[in-house]
């Protein structure tokens, strides 16, 4: 049997870190060699995530203490906060240029350094790497991901919306100027950050929109939709917080071009994803539920004809921590390391 690949997770104490550990512990071909978490350095992973009691995992260490060159890591997952990631990865690449990287932050998702500066309010700290980075929406960029040294793992909202819309935009089947994306997310998308707005009492038994009109994920949507359409596209996008742990549902309102019907759109998506292991297009007229992809790397997409001719409603669901973050990261890792793409990702939903 081949030697196991040596893997590190930077920022293992967040929810995407814990989800990476959950997935990788079941992966037969990798070894978790390093876990970093600055504020929790010195603790065991099981101290902060008791579900790992008894698992064979390295103790958490501070980021600064890691000798990148000496570790001989095959791949590093970077699950650090947005903004701090650029300098960390720059240093890592300098010290260990052979090590592959999957970055789960937003820091390398925008290919255009100007767009980055516009949305994030400061110059990018590693512009040459930003140019090199491959956007990690696996089903769309599989070929480039295999070769990439640095993959910018997409956001959870954007993955949910891009998978159904990119094939339709590429086929010129919908009006790019008339896309409305109404997205509902579980609370784990906010991470383990301790904020009043994320208290149980503030989130349970209610719903609300947030970031209306100006959410940062829009830059990612703009970039990929424009690439797909071959011209600038901006969309209306509204995220909402739903009282659940996991799951994103994007309800997408589109207008068809050239008298195409919902059935036509369904056919395009069905064809685009017929061989994909993780993207399931439901029969025309059926809608998916987030709970049926809970804790999995699967995406389910439904297409319904609106009662207004020329319009269709598309529902897309995934688990924000899995296909929306750590699952897609592992999927990308599998490709980058030459492993079967679905390894450790074949689980079906925990439902109920």
Q: Is there binding between residue 351 and its own copies (CB under 8 A)? A: yes
- How far, in Å, CA of 266 to CA of 223, rounded? 24
Most distant CA pair in the chain, distance: 62
Q: Which of 37, 134, 293, 336 binds its own copies (CB under 8 A)?
A: 293
Closest distance between its own copies and the C-beta of residue 71, in Å?
A: 24
Residue 84 DSSP SS3: coil
Closest distance between its own copies and the C-beta of residue 195, in Å?
A: 7
Closest distance between its own copies and the C-beta of residue 285, in Å?
A: 8
Closest distance between its own copies and the C-beta of residue 239, in Å?
A: 10
Closest distance between its own copies and the C-beta of residue 20, in Å?
A: 12
Mark the segment that binds its own copies (CB under 8 A) among 1-9, 168-176, 335-343, 344-352.
Answer: 344-352
Closest distance between its own copies and the C-beta of residue 14, in Å?
A: 11
Cis-peptide into 352, omega within 30 deg: yes
- How far, in Å, CA of 181 to CA of 117, rounded? 25
Q: Which of 196, 258, 259, 275 binds its own copies (CB under 8 A)?
A: 196
Nearer to its own copies by Cβ, of 94 and 212: the residue is 212
Q: Which of 9, 12, 315, 339 binds its own copies (CB under 8 A)?
A: 315
Q: Is there binding between residue 352 and its own copies (CB under 8 A)? A: yes
Number of chain positions touching its own copies (CB under 8 A): 85
Q: Is the distance from CB of 254 to CB of 179 less than 8 angstroms?
A: yes
Backbone φ and ψ for 11, nearest 5 degrees, come out as 85, 45
Q: Is there binding between residue 120 and its own copies (CB under 8 A)? A: no
Q: In what order do the strands lie in the sheet with 100-103?
A: 60-61, 30-36, 5-10, 75-78, 100-103, 150-152, 134-135
Q: Is there binding between residue 280 and its own copies (CB under 8 A)? A: yes
Nearer to its own copies by Cβ, of 92 and 218: the residue is 218
Residues 127-186 binding its own copies (CB under 8 A) are 180, 182, 184, 186
Residues 51-90 binding its own copies (CB under 8 A) are 51-55
Closest distance between its own copies and the C-beta of residue 15, in Å?
A: 6
Q: Is there binding between residue 329 and its own copies (CB under 8 A)? A: no
With both helix axes pointing from N to C terminus, report the angle between 327-336 and 138-147 in degrees, rounded to the nearest 10: 40
Q: Is there binding between residue 313 and its own copies (CB under 8 A)? A: yes
Q: Which residues contact 321 (CB under 8 A, 6 or more apart)?
A: 15, 16, 19, 156, 188, 189, 246, 295, 327
Residues 212-271 binding its own copies (CB under 8 A) are 212-214, 218, 234-236, 238, 240, 242-247, 249, 251, 253
Of 315, 164, 326, the C-alpha closest to 248 is 315
- How far, in Å, CA of 315 to CA of 284, rounded? 11
Q: Is there binding between residue 284 and its own copies (CB under 8 A)? A: no
Catalytic (active-site) positions: 156
Backbone φ and ψ for 144, nearest 5 degrees, come out as -70, -35
Q: Which of 67, 123, 128, 202 binds its own copies (CB under 8 A)?
A: 202
Task: Indicate the helix (H) or strand (E) that contains 60.
Answer: strand 60-61
Residues 13-52 binding its own copies (CB under 8 A) are 15, 18, 21-22, 25-26, 49-52
- Buried b or exposed e, range 259-280, using 16+ CB within 10 angstroms: ebebebbbbbbbebbeebebbb
């Amino acid at each position: 049997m081949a030697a196991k690949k040596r893997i590190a997770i930077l920022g293992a104490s967040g929810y995407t870190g814990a989800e990476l550990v959950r997935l990788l512990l079941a992966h037969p071909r990798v070894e978790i060699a390093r876990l970093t978490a600055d504020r929790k350095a010195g603790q065991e992973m099981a101290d902060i995530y008791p579900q790992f009691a008894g698992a064979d995992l390295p103790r958490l260490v501070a980021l600064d203490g890691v000798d990148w060159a000496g570790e001989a890591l095959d791949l590093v997952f970077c699950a650090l906060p947005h903004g701090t990631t650029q300098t960390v990865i720059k240093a890592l690449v300098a010290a260990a240029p052979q090590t592959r990287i999957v970055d789960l932050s937003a820091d390398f998702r925008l290919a255009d350094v100007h767009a980055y500066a516009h949305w994030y309010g400061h110059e990018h700290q590693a512009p040459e790497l930003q140019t090199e980075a491959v956007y990690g929406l696996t089903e769309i960029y599989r070929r480039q991901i295999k070769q990439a040294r640095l993959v910018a793992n997409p956001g959870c909202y954007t993955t949910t919306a891009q998978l159904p819309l990119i094939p339709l935009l590429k086929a010129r089947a919908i009006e790019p100027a008339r896309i409305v994306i109404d997205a509902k997310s579980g609370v784990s998308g906010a991470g383990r950050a301790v904020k009043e707005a994320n208290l149980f009492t503030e989130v349970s038994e209610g719903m609300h929109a947030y970031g209306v009109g100006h959410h940062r994920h829009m830059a990612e949507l703009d970039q990929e939709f424009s690439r797909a359409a071959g011209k600038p596209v901006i969309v209306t996008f509204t995220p909402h917080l739903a009282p659940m742990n996991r799951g994103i549902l994007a309800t997408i309102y589109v207008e068809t071009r050239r008298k195409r019907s919902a059935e036509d759109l369904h056919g395009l998506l069905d064809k685009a994803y017929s061989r994909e292991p993780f993207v399931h297009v439901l029969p025309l007229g059926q809608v998916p539920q987030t709970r049926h992809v809970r804790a999995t790397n699967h995406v389910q997409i439904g297409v319904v004809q609106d009662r207004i001719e020329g319009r269709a409603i598309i529902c897309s669901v995934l688990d924000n921590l899995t296909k929306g973050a750590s699952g897609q990261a592992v999927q990308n890792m599998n490709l980058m390391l030459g492993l079967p793409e679905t390894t450790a990702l074949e689980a079906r939903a925990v439902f109920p």
